[in-house]
Structure 1
Amino acid sequence: MITGASLPSLALAQVAAPATIIDEDDDAIEVNSTEIVVVAPRIRGQIEVPNQPVQTFDEEDIAAYGADSIADLIEAISPQTGSGRGRGSGRPVILVNGQRITSFRELHRIPPEAIRRMEVLPEEVALRFGYPANQRVLNLILKDNFAALMAAGEYNVPTRGGYDNYEAEGGIFKISGPRRYNFSAKLTETTILTEDERNIRQSASGQPTVAGDPDPVRYRSLADADSTLELNGTMTQGIGEGGLAGSITANGAYTHQQTTSLSGLDTVRLSYGGESQTRTLPDPLTTRSVVDTFAGGLGYNTMIGDWTFSTTADGSYTDTNTRTDRRRDTDALVAAAASGTLAIGGALPAVPGAGVDVARNRALALATLTTLSGRPFRMPAGDANLTIKGGFDFNRTTSEDSRTDIGAFTLRRSDVSGGVNLAVPLTSRGEDFLGAVGDFTLNVGGGIDHLSDFGSLKNWNLGLTWNPTDALSFQASYLVEDAAPSLSQLGAPTILTYNVSVYDFTNSTTSLVTVTSGGNPDLVKEKQRDIKLSATWKLPFLDRSNLLVEYFRNRSSDVTKSFPLLTPAIEAAFPGRVTRDAFGNLIAIDRRAVTYDEVSTSSMRWGFNISGKLGSDSASGGGASRGSSRTAAPVHSAPSTPPGGFGGPPPAGAGAFDPSRFEALRKSLCAPAGEGAASPDLSAMPERMRERLVGADGKVDPDKLEKMKQRVCSAEGPGAAGGFDPERFARMRQAVCAQGSTGPDLSKLPEPIAERLKGPDGQVDKARLAAMRERMCSSDGASSPGAGAAPAEQKQSGDASRSGSGGGGHSGFGPPGGGRWNLSVYHTWRFVDRVRIAPGVPELDELAGDAISAGGVPRHSIEMEGGLFKNGYGLRLKGEWNAPAKVNGSGLPGSSDLRFGSTFVLDARLFVDLGRMESLVAKAPFFKGARLALTADNLLDSRQKVTDGNGAVPLAYQAAYREPQGRVVGIDFRKMF
């Protein structure tokens, strides 16, 4: 931005005479005659922290992913948002415009075109918002104006066949300054996938025990049938003029899910005289589950003086009903076989069902968090930052199961928490305090949780950030935290599942066993002690690219874990959890959660993010300077973040500055007494400009208003406002934007600007000229040649808001932009992964094969994602590779080690933004705002191979068990209106 009024909407202007320009921070910048000046402010909603971003994305970067929703976008960039700390799970901490949200439901179905900028930040940043530092932080900065109706459909099917998946969704989303709302609905239908459709073998021969009996593989599901309906709505309303007094958010959602699974066929062992035979009954054992979830959230954000106050509340009620078929009453068959009524191999008579067991769980959850963040004092190196938090969580679960005699039982937990986090700058280059050593920031914090059923849990953290240069950053942190088992781990209803295929390491056989799941009330609290060391280097040879190296060391005691893989070592440690018959055959396992004495891990995660443009700056729409804190220098390109004009979206492709609107604002602001209103009309003023006029009471501060008037109104005529001449700018625009046979008339440009358009050969550089035209001229074909585009631009202003282009940049509706490419690769190298189950018991080295998980622990793994996007066509690839791992047997006769082969899963997405195809849209306007995509999950149809010491694949580890679906191809179509 430039000019004495510090107008945030001005992207490009010429200073006709030496002038002093007041930037966004009221700092004076001396400008020489005829200079072109760009001052790029920090974007509203960015987070001011010493930690360098892991990655940043502008609008064209986001468009290059071709994602249908923010949820899909976050899934696509999971290598960048994933944390190697190993404590958090799932998605990162989500912020919107630098503020906390009530829950991910607020925005997961919002179209990515509404995002102006997206930043991925390290885990330590989460402490400033009241969250633990175990997940990365993703800050989404939304556009000021955006609106869209969306409808989408998707169909997916494995290339091996077996099932179908259908998805249909629709929604409406709008941003209008401080107000935004979105409503969405989504329906997902997935059919069942059975073992028969993947050629699963239950015995060496693959045949039923008796010819004529039904084959059980037809009645065992590998993937459940699923039907899910999601309804969601969110509204955010600014408080006060332009939302300057804060905002309030309300969210509500409902989800209905039905799943059906098959557990095989019932069997009975019959004796015929001196012989015995296992017979299979014809009716499958079916489990049906219905889950209804009601959820809601409230959030409030405001400023209390110079402090940011935020409070959120999120609640949910989940009702789960599970109906499981009982085994058949086979007493009559046993009696008939014993009396000789039944012949060996003869047909079995009908056996009546034994009924259905019903398990019901009702869970109520409420989570609240309030934070107050500000700058309590100033150090010689800068302002300290303090975050104070307090919260109250409540959970209640009521369970009942017809298979038990205890009836309904209820567990409750309330959690009152509080904490503080203080970040103190120790040295600063910007403040010129010991700047020779760089910027050091100390972070320290702590908190306490009091659980009604568990007592008090404490946590504290210590961290140091060092930025010796703008391109290099180092971080070190130490976290100590107590953790409690969840209510479900403590008190979930006990459920028996029959005919679960389990590999028995002791006998090297595969058995169908009865598995017990549910809660374990004897679990205790865990203590965690974590160290993280990291370094980030901005690569000097590529735009917005960096190298990241992180080292993690975690130590935990009294660790709650789900029951591990049943190796001989685990069976020896938990003998009461395993049941065998008189012949040593495995028949039952109790898989409820257990407590390990100690778990120790250490690893290094390193990777790089590289990216670039395809084509010239004019094609790609800029973007290099987006997010810089402030620059003031002669430039050859406009800032990449058109900030939205005066009170609304910029005219499409119009350079984001309207001299007539600026002059109207100036006349209103500078009108002499008696000619204007009693108070200046500020409605046409940009939001950021109005914010700077507001005092602590939320009202316009007269002193600030007078100061601005002095800057803007210090001279008469069009040459005022710090040297900016709207008429001269209009003449320049007319010369550059002329169409027809004559083309641009560059002779009317000021000599310094004309010189900057020339290349080394002294001739006009076409790319530079195209870049200037892209910034200054309307892209609407309806615009008249030359500068006569103003009426058309004003007409487009409203269209831009409706089509989602508010805030600048391409939204997928407009003409083709340029191109982007990127590649992100992260490698994890595990050094230590040891488990001590109980005091006095030898440690298990998971990396050496003493595994407690079904696939062992690979020492190396790699995540990657990348792709390219050009002229509306995009290709995305995302992959994950894991090295081979092994699981040790007992070493006794009959036992065998298992080798789990390496895995490489590659997903691909090929898409085309049909709305960017001008010729197509001209012929068929329906395709405006449309996108077509072809997808392939597990493109290489990779499935892990597991072998024993003889090279054979155990029945329990058949490839289809490891990866039932295989390659899944799909097509999806999205249309935005």
Structure 2
Amino acid sequence: MPRLSTTASFLAIAAFTAAPAAAQVDPAPAGAIAQDGAAPGVEEGVEEGEAEIVVTAERLRGQVDTDVPPVLELDAEEIASYGAGSIEELIEQLAPQTGSGRGRGSGRPVFLVNGQRVGGFREFRRYPPEAIQKVEVLPEEVALQFGYPADQRVINFILKDNFASREVELEYGGPDRGGTANGEIELSQLTIDGSRRTNIGFEFNTNSMLTEAERDIVQTPGSTPTVAGDPDPAAFRSLRADAESWELDATINDTLGDAPGTGTYSLNAGIERGFSRSLSGLDVVTLTDGGASAVRTIDDDPLERRRRATTYSLGGSLNKPVGDWMLDATLDGSRADTTTLIDARRDTGVLQDMVDAGELAIDGPLPALAPGGTDRADSTTYSADFKTTLRGTPFTLPAGEVRATFDAGYSWNRIESTDTRSDAGELAQTRGNLTAGVNLGLPIASAREGFLGALGEVNLNLAAGVDRLSDFGTLADATAGLAWRPTEALTLQASYIWREAAPSLSQLGDPVVTDYNVPVYDFSRGESVLATIVTGGNPDLAAETQRDIKLAANYELELFSRTNIVVEYFRNRSDDVTQSFPLLTPAIEEAFPDRVVRDGAGNLVSIDRRPVTFAGTRSARLRYGINMFGRVGKEATDGESDRRGGARAGGRARAGAGEGAQPPANGGEGPPAPAGTARQAGPGAQDGRGQARGRFDPARMAELRERFCAAPEGEVPDLSGLPERMLARLKGADGQVDPARVAMLRERFCSEEGAAAGGQFGRMDPERFAALRRALCADPAAPVDLDALPERVRARLAGADGQVDPARLAAFRERICAMPAPPAGGEARQGGEGTQGAGRSGGGGRGGGAGRFGRHGDGQGRWNLGLYHSIEFENEVLVAPGGPVLDQLDGQAIGSGIPRHKIELEGGLFYKGLGLRLSGDYQSATRIDGTGLPGSQDLFFDDIATFDLRAFVNLEQQEWLAGEPGFWKGARLSLRVDNLFDARQRVTDASGAVPVSYQPLLTDPLGRTFEIEFRKLF
């Protein structure tokens, strides 16, 4: 009994100061054995100093096992502070932190769910954020562990074990200038029961057309009729298409069998249909007679472009332990059918012939002409991507275990296209790609393992892969990276990537499409004109060779709740680069003369904008930023604090067991590793965060308790020797010890019942706790009536298959039955439906659990700020071998110019159900040089800063507004303002005039937009 009392006393301090779950029902998985003999389920509560214990337990389920620390971590309360309606929206708000500065890849991060690959983004993109227990954003190098190239960051979503919701979301919005509007209806349902997940969602979107007449756009010379009575083409030229689309998708995840550890599978399917209609102006003709000329409109029927697209998607995944390895297999397939109808121009040559013959006056009534007909372009694209990875630890080096990933896969893509404007008939291109690769994570030095510990943690990463493409032959890639963690707070990384990459099949084989009357700025003549633009694929593109260097540092500061600084340097070199056809500057026209058509007078007629191959590119940039997280408001009382969910004491290990613990051999799926597979840490060993660990000394803990409780009531006791983390929990916002907190801890820690049971009685009604004890302890030999257990307790006792795990139940039963009954008239915090501990520790109870709209937690609000700055040092393009080298930072851009500076801002505040988010983007000024010849003009693009604001209110928390929750339970109202200050980039020529094709309302016709959203979660 003395040992039990001492251990319980330690738990009382840990419950108040560091790990709230230690004061809640937290049955440990089988195999989680405490070194000092404490009951299973005790979370890490150790600190620097001599009063320490060793706890061996499993890593947080679903956490990525890597030696590279995350760039960003969010717990449930912090996720709620973003006010997002889905995982997809949350990712949009995290753009500064999830974006990669490498300049490669498709732009979308690599996604994991519970530390495992998934069949596709659509599998989970509609999940409400309330279903997430934790988010990890990891550097690009971690993608190699899962069979992906290191060109995008990795986002891992750790889901709650038990969650169920139905969601309705309604949106309506439009620009403050009017002219167009958009709306959205979204319905979804999600159920999570351990490894079993089902989700179905439907979304409908619509937006109306916006024309140039509704923005008073000045028309391009040559497009406006000069004869009275002809219609103004501005009303027949669209700035925004009229469009509608709908999507329906469904996903199911389940276990492969009833036995724990058999693995999981998922299936997802979806269909998406969309329609859009845009206008390209009127069919006009310029008639000339005896030196006089006039622009005439043939009729008032606009030239339309109509597009219909239907996409079918099917995918799935398999995650299965194979011995000590984890096998992941994913399949993602789709078919997309697209039809584009383009009105053709009428044959107006006969009109000029009639004028020349004197049969028609240029300002007289025009005769009727036969319709120009309709051109049609059809394309069907097929894609299937199958990838498998085998992950494990094949052997151990002196510095630790070697992590290995073997990947293999096959992808198949095909494009079939026809176009009535081409005589080539049906075109088809097919690509098959057989891939294989290996990635090794080699520990070089480790203070944790006691090998070259003076260096800290040093890990080498080596990867290599090969692609066998049916249309490009064999391509290869190789990566070498070094991660060094000299201190707990600082991580340094260096990597080199060499890769051969082929153009996409769409860049090679997209159907050729012609658009008429497109406003274009002609740099050679310094004028805006209407030109014909040709787009599509180019089958003559070459494979690209990439050579990239990345240097990075991540430094964690003890500032606010937590702060980290990220610094990254990128240097990219490429040969034979596929690029969309750039802006038609004089240098580009000189390099690609066959892509431009001019008439006899030098007027620009058409541009072929199909992709081209540049000889090479060179770039170098620095990206650095800071992420800060803090809390506002008064912390809840001790009892309220116990109800919070997902709270963190800081650091990755604090969300689960200590990082020194061994993760499950199956990668987090199925039962934890058996007892004995975890590292056994003796005195003097170190945990995953480099802190010293040793056996807990009961005598020293008893001495600490005696000294703490000896102080007279009302006085602050001697706190020397108290672990730093525990001492920090006794301090108020001013950093000084708060007597009220000390008194609260004293009452729990020094009372008779607190000494006996660790202060663990204080919340649940004693009758419920007594009923729990009767169900578990009345007859130790009898089976437990599971229906008698609270739902949250059953959820926490569930294994990977969703069923109550007998081993967990036995451990929990032993723990509860060994405890004394609660004092009469008191309340018990242990277990029961009155707490959220069981459900939350395992990921939240049904209906959302802790963190739902931030209703629970410690009573404090959350704020965060992310600020990133990018500096371009070099950005050059070699157009052709021996050809011109274009410095995009010095007026020779192939687009609108590369800004030397970019700033990204994202931050917000959430408190008592009220949230405010602000994001911003800034880019510095650029310019594009003309030829310097008469008529040619330089263009200057001013710097620009835009801000987006989002305010939201959780109506169920606003009694002054909604009264009792009732219908408003789970409801949220949001207002979003994009481009808050209606900023538009100003473009001028050397004289300060704005070219017609760069009118602010033409380049950005929407400007400031408002959107109101109502969301209800059932």
With normalisation by structure 1, the TM-score equals 0.84
Shift in Å, 1:654: 6.4
* Letter paired with 2:1000: A
* Letter paired with 2:158: I
Indicate conservation of the 8 Å contact 1:178/1:247, yes or no.
Answer: yes
Q: Which residue of 1 aligns with 2:329?
A: 311
Q: Which residue of 1 aligns with 2:606?
A: 588
Q: Which residue of 1 aligns with 2:879?
A: 837
Indicate conservation of the 8 Å contact 1:812/1:915, yes or no.
Answer: no
Shift in Å, 1:230: 0.7
Shift in Å, 1:840: 1.0
Q: Which has the higher contact order (CA 8 A, sep 6+)?
A: 2
Query: 2: CA distance between counterparts of 1:53 and 1:36?
Result: 27
Q: Secondary structure at the match of 2:447?
A: coil
Q: Which residue of 2 aligns with 1:441?
A: 459
Shift in Å, 1:495: 1.4
* Letter paired with 2:271: Y
Query: 1: CA distance between counterparts of 2:43 and 2:842?
Result: 32
Q: Secondary structure at the match of 1:503?
A: strand
Q: Which residue of 2 aligns with 1:604?
A: 622
Query: 2: CA distance between counterparts of 1:127 and 1:201?
Result: 52
Q: Which residue of 1 aligns with 2:544?
A: 526
Shift in Å, 1:724: 8.5
* Letter paired with 2:121: F
* Letter paired with 2:482: L
Change (3 A) 1:22 1:462: farther
Q: Which residue of 2 aligns with 1:561?
A: 579
Shift in Å, 1:700: 9.3
* Letter paired with 1:887: I
1:957 has 2:1001 as partner: no
Change (3 A) 1:374 1:35: closer
Q: Secondary structure at the match of 2:974?
A: strand
Shift in Å, 1:624: 2.8
Query: 2: CA distance between counterparts of 1:113 and 1:366?
Result: 32
Q: Which residue of 1 aligns with 2:212?
A: 195
Query: 1: CA distance between counterparts of 2:304 and 2:376?
Result: 12
Q: 1:12 aligns with which of 1, 13, 23?
A: 23
Change (3 A) 1:676 1:167: closer
1:422-472: CA deviation from partner (whole Å, max 9, x where unpaired): 001111111111111100000001000000011011000000000111111
Query: 2: CA distance between counterparts of 1:308 and 1:368?
Result: 17
Indicate conservation of the 8 Å contact 1:177/1:242, yes or no.
Answer: no
Q: Which residue of 2 aligns with 1:153?
A: 170
Q: Which residue of 2 aligns with 1:741?
A: none
* Letter paired with 2:118: I
Q: Secondary structure at the match of 2:281?
A: strand
Q: Which residue of 2 aligns with 1:178?
A: 195
Q: Which residue of 2 aligns with 1:846?
A: 888
Indicate conservation of the 8 Å contact 1:507/1:895, yes or no.
Answer: yes
Change (3 A) 1:439 1:31: closer
Indicate conservation of the 8 Å contact 1:545/1:611, yes or no.
Answer: yes
Shift in Å, 1:476: 0.4
Change (3 A) 1:89 1:800: closer
Q: Which aligned pairs between 1:316-327 and structure 2 lie closer than 5 A?
A: 316-327=334-345
Q: Which aligned pairs between 1:735-884 and structure 2 lie closer than 5 A?
A: 735=826, 801-805=845-849, 808-811=850-853, 817-853=859-895, 855-884=896-925
Q: Secondary structure at the match of 2:282?
A: strand
Pick which of 357-366 and 833-842 moved more. 833-842
Query: 1: CA distance between counterparts of 2:767 and 2:313?
Result: 44
Indicate conservation of the 8 Å contact 1:906/1:940, yes or no.
Answer: yes
Indicate conservation of the 8 Å contact 1:21/1:28, yes or no.
Answer: no
Q: Which residue of 2 aligns with 1:351?
A: 369
Query: 2: CA distance between counterparts of 1:530 and 1:288?
Result: 42
Shift in Å, 1:924: 5.2
Query: 2: CA distance between counterparts of 1:68 and 1:491?
Result: 38
Q: 1:334 aligns with which of 338, 352, 362?
A: 352
1:746-791: CA deviation from partner (whole Å, max 9, x where unpaired): xxxxxxxxxxxxxxxxxxxxxxxxxxxxx8899x9xxxxxxxx69x
Change (3 A) 1:342 1:555: same
Indicate conservation of the 8 Å contact 1:183/1:233, yes or no.
Answer: yes
Change (3 A) 1:102 1:204: same
Query: 2: CA distance between counterparts of 1:357 and 1:657?
Result: 78
Indicate conservation of the 8 Å contact 2:288/2:362, yes or no.
Answer: no
Q: Which residue of 2 aligns with 1:546?
A: 564
Indicate conservation of the 8 Å contact 2:389/2:408, yes or no.
Answer: yes
1:590-619: CA deviation from partner (whole Å, max 9, x where unpaired): 111100001000000000000101123438
Shift in Å, 1:349: 3.5
Query: 2: CA distance between counterparts of 1:168 and 1:699?
Result: 38
Query: 1: CA distance between counterparts of 2:265 and 2:356?
Result: 74
Q: Which residue of 2 aligns with 1:74?
A: 91
* Letter paired with 1:953: V
Query: 2: CA distance between counterparts of 1:657 and 1:335?
Result: 101
Query: 2: CA distance between counterparts of 1:63 and 1:209?
Result: 59
Indicate conservation of the 8 Å contact 1:531/1:553, yes or no.
Answer: yes
Q: Which residue of 1 aligns with 2:649?
A: 624
Q: Which aligned pairs between 1:239-638 and structure 2 lie closer than 5 A?
A: 239-241=256-258, 244-281=261-298, 282-618=300-636, 621=644, 622-625=647-650, 627-628=652-653, 630=657, 635=726
Query: 2: CA distance between counterparts of 1:428 and 1:36?
Result: 22
1:162-219: CA deviation from partner (whole Å, max 9, x where unpaired): 1010111111111111211110101000011111112211247995322221111211
Indicate conservation of the 8 Å contact 2:566/2:625, yes or no.
Answer: yes
Change (3 A) 1:184 1:81: same
Change (3 A) 1:904 1:243: farther
**Which consecutive unaligned segments of at least 5 residues does structure 2 have?**
27-34, 659-695, 697-722, 731-760
Q: Secondary structure at the match of 1:542?
A: coil
Query: 2: CA distance between counterparts of 1:122 and 1:208?
Result: 57
Shift in Å, 1:663: 4.5
Indicate conservation of the 8 Å contact 2:336/2:380, yes or no.
Answer: yes
Indicate conservation of the 8 Å contact 2:524/2:931, yes or no.
Answer: yes
Query: 2: CA distance between counterparts of 1:666 and 1:29?
Result: 31
Change (3 A) 1:384 1:793: closer
Q: Secondary structure at the match of 1:182?
A: strand
* Letter paired with 2:199: N
* Letter paired with 1:119: E
Change (3 A) 1:522 1:655: farther
Q: Which aligned pairs between 1:678-689 and structure 2 lie closer than 5 A?
A: none
Indicate conservation of the 8 Å contact 2:210/2:239, yes or no.
Answer: yes
Aligned length: 892
Q: Which residue of 2 aligns with 1:727?
A: 820
Shift in Å, 1:329: 2.7
Change (3 A) 1:652 1:935: farther
Query: 1: CA distance between counterparts of 2:169 and 2:800?
Result: 41
Identity %: 44
Q: Secondary structure at the match of 1:265?
A: coil
Indicate conservation of the 8 Å contact 2:867/2:904, yes or no.
Answer: yes
With normalisation by structure 2, the TM-score equals 0.81
**Which consecutive unaligned segments of at least 5 residues does structure 1 have?**
639-650, 714-719, 738-774, 781-788
What's the RMSD between the two structures over aligned residues? 4.1
